[in-house]
Amino acid sequence: MSAPAVVLRDVRFRYRSGPEILDIPELTIARGERVFLFGPSGSGKTTLLGLLAGVLAGYTGSVEVLGQDMAKLRGSARDAFRGTHIGYIFQQFNLIPYLTVRENITLPGRLQPARGKQAGDVNAVAQRLGIASLLERGVTELSVGQQQRVAAARALLGGPELLIADEPTSALDFDHRERFLELLFENCALANATLLFVSHDRSLAGKFDRQLSLVDFNRAQRQEPAA
Amino acid sequence: MIVLLSLAWKSLRNRLLTTSLTVLSIGLSMALLLGVENVRVGARESFANTISQTDLIVGARGGSLQLLLYSVFRIGQATNNISYESYQHWKNHPAVAWTIPYSLGDSHRGFRVVGTTEDFYQHLRFRRDRRLEFAAGRSPQGVFDVVLGSDVAAALNYKLGDKIVISHGVAAGRGIADNDHADKPFTVSGILKKTATPVDRSLYIQLEGISAVHIDWADGAPPMPGEEVPASKIAKENMKVEQITSFLLRCKTRIATLQLQREINTYREEAMQAIIPGVTLQELWRTIGYAEDALQVVTLFVILVGLLGMLVSLYTSLNERRREMAILRVIGAGPGKIIALLVLESGLLALAGCLLGVVMIYGLSFIFQPIVEQQFGLYVPVQPPTPAGWLYLGAVLLAGILIGFVPAWKAYRNTLADGLSIRV
């Protein structure tokens, strides 16, 4: 029985001397779960993702990702851990503009040898996401929907255990949104990856195993006096 | 590292316009630096090549630099002459292989007239072992024959058989009418091929010719009316050479040079000095070293401006590239790799600039070498960079890499501050 995908205990975080952004007594996400995280702008969603991805440091409490205490990893080890075990999809502009689709998808594996070793077949991933015909194109020629699928392919290739998607569908129209989500679910299931999906669009929430409202478990936001 | 190198390369290629402008500016300044270096070396070689196989230059006692300048480069004037007897003494010295006497002091329309002997045409060497050749005609056979350097013939448009008048003194431009040796015209008997040395800018007559034009002069003044000696009454056999200005000397063995130099310098009969051309040239370089240094400093600043241009272009590109840096971070590139990427980019720019500079200077020297040689008598070699040139190339490359750390540091700070939230 492997450790849960995410375990947070008594985590508090603030930027420099700014107000407290996060104060989370407890949060656990099991392996293989598909979690929908929502909350209004400024509720600390992106900050939380930064902690999970190991990009932000300087918090108190404990953050464990895939059984790894993030506080125990320093500098380049944290970057390597993220590069190897976590896939990440931004809201938009996910791709390096001067690389082709194929080069974008394979870049994480080339930067992190450990991920490169387990990288599967690029063509297969591209096939499943419906971008096989675009592989040799420059990314600037793609539509937003195509770009997000390329980003998903990059996040999924090499079988990361945790996939973090930060409002990946907000730039897509309804039809594309539905299709993108289906593809994401299919591929997460295939790769046996845990999915943490962040959005303020509650209409998508029903498709997930669990819905988390950040405002509910982040005490820092509740303490803010209502304006 | 290979991954980063290919990323850096593709990123630069993506910004083709700024990249090529940056490379061009570094390349141009590099070419300028190498060009100045080549001209400097070329000037030195040109000077050194003006005279070859001459072990000693001998003249009246005075400044050694002055002796070199008026004997070899036809710059400045001698203050004293030496007697023909002394010249004969050293000419017949057992250690001496050959001598070339020069008698200076007259001119023709701004070009100097040199009295010399057949030895000049036989023994003078320049650019290691090249000897004088005639484009037309032959060496002076009579007292009133004159041979022209190629620049003189070209500038004054003279041809064989033309009659010319030489003037007393070496003031530039036309001689003062009173000082003209108008009663004793010379006939062009030969024109030398181009040598790209000061030889091209002089006229050559026999030593006896110099005596002939001055035969009726007294104490440096023209003859009084009625005392003129007409040219028709002058024959070579009657002309007595009494003094010359200086002479070039070749020893039979190089070892004898220093011994002979000492002998000449301590000659009891007449106050003379002998100089070794190479040694005195070194003195000359030391004298004009300041001007060279100043030029060098200017070109270094040009390089600096080129490198600063690169810094500015890399630095300003960073704002557009914040998104790119965040992407790289999120897929596992640590700050070290971000820094390496930017340092590689500036290193590649500097490398490309250096290569372009070398290519340009090769091309330019190849194209302009003949023109520069024609116009300025300066032979600039087309050659790989000199040791100093390599040093400059290495220094610019290193500077390019070091400068890369400035935008790299900025990018690193950006990624820390941005985290995963990127302003678009």
Predicted confidence (pLDDT) per residue in A53-105, tens digit = 888 778 888 888 888 888 888 877 888 888 888 888 888 778 888 888 888 88
Q: Which of A200-214, B346-360, B365-379 shows the lowest mean pLDDT across its residues?
A: B365-379
Is the pLDDT at B359 greater than 50, yes or no?
A: yes
pLDDT of residue A118: 62
pLDDT of residue B60: 94
Per-residue pLDDT band at A176 (split at 50, 70, 90):
confident
B246 contact A CB<8A: no
For residues B227 and A36, the model is more confident at: A36
Is the pLDDT at B178 greater than 60, yes or no?
A: no
CB contact under 8 A, B334 and A84: no
pLDDT of residue B300: 85
Class of residue B130 by CB neighbours under 10 A (exposed 0-12, middle 13-18, buried 19+): middle
Per-residue pLDDT band at B251 (split at 50, 70, 90):
very high
Per-residue pLDDT band at B274 (split at 50, 70, 90):
very high
Mean pLDDT, chain B, whole residue set: 86
The whole-number average pLDDT for the span B370-374 is 76
Cα A170 off chain centre by:
14
Residues 149-188 of A with CB under 8 A from B: 154, 166
Chain B residues touching A108 at Cβ < 8 A: 331-332
The percentage of chain B sitting over the pLDDT mark of 90, rounded to a whole number, equals 37
pLDDT of residue B252: 92
For residues A146 and B266, the model is more confident at: B266
Size of interface A-B (CB pairs under 8 A): 77
Q: Which of B77-81, B205-209, B213-217 shows the lowest mean pLDDT across its residues?
A: B213-217
Domain regions of chain B by residue span: 2-47+289-418, 56-275
B169 contact A CB<8A: no
Contacts of A165 (CB under 8 A, 6+ apart): A88, A89, A155, A184, A195, A196, A197, A198
Rounded CA-CA distance A34/A163 in Å is 10
* SS3 state at B204: strand
Note whether B140 and B116 are within 8 A (CB).
no
Residues 298-327 of B with CB under 8 A from A: 323-324, 326-327
Which residue has 């000359």 as its token pair? B284
CB contact under 8 A, B331 and A107: yes
* SS3 state at B248: strand
pLDDT of residue B310: 85
Per-residue pLDDT band at B219 (split at 50, 70, 90):
low
Rounded CA-CA distance A73/B72 in Å is 77
Is the pLDDT at A227 greater than 50, yes or no?
A: no
pLDDT of residue B213: 85
Is the pLDDT at B173 greater than 70, yes or no?
A: no
The whole-number average pLDDT for the span A26-30 is 87
Chain B residues touching A112 at Cβ < 8 A: 331-332
Is the pLDDT at A224 greater than 70, yes or no?
A: no
Per-residue pLDDT band at A226 (split at 50, 70, 90):
very low
Is the pLDDT at B420 greater than 70, yes or no?
A: no
How close is the nearest chain A Cα to the Cα of B349, in Å?
A: 17
Residue type, A5: A
Per-residue pLDDT band at B220 (split at 50, 70, 90):
low
Is the pLDDT at B218 greater than 70, yes or no?
A: no
The whole-number average pLDDT for the span B268-275 is 93
Is the pLDDT at A225 greater than 60, yes or no?
A: no
Structural domains of chain A sorted by starting position, each given as residue range(s) with its CATH number in brackets: 33-56+83-223 (3.40.50.300)
Is the pLDDT at B322 greater than 70, yes or no?
A: yes
φ, ψ of residue B299 to 5 degrees: the values are -65, -35
For residues B353 and B36, the model is more confident at: B353
Q: Of the candidates B385, B341, B384, B404, which has an alpha carbon nearest to the alpha carbon of residue B6?
A: B341
A190 contact B CB<8A: no
pLDDT of residue A156: 84
Per-residue pLDDT band at A42 (split at 50, 70, 90):
confident
Mean pLDDT, chain A, whole residue set: 83
Confidence (pTM): 0.71
Angle A181-A185-A188 (CA atoms, 0-180°, nearest 5)?
135
Find the residue in B nearest to A49 (Cα): B420
How close is the nearest chain B Cα to the Cα of A227, in Å?
A: 25
B94 contact A CB<8A: no
Per-residue pLDDT band at B424 (split at 50, 70, 90):
very low
How close is the nearest chain B Cα to the Cα of A159, in Å?
A: 13
CB contact under 8 A, A76 and B336: yes
pLDDT tens-place string over residues B283-302: 888 888 888 888 888 888 88
User: Which among A78, A79, A167 is the top mutation candidate for probing chain B, defined by the most B β-carbons within 10 Å of its own β-carbon?
Assistant: A79
pLDDT tens-place string over residues B101-146: 999 988 898 899 999 999 999 999 998 889 999 999 999 998 999 9
Q: Of the candidates B383, B341, B311, B280, which has an alpha carbon nearest to the alpha carbon of residue B71?
A: B280
How close is the nearest chain B Cα to the Cα of A157, in Å?
A: 11
Rounded CA-CA distance B308/B297 in Å is 16
B17 contact A CB<8A: no
For residues B97 and B285, the model is more confident at: B97
The whole-number average pLDDT for the span B366-389 is 77
DSSP at B87? H
B422 contact A CB<8A: yes
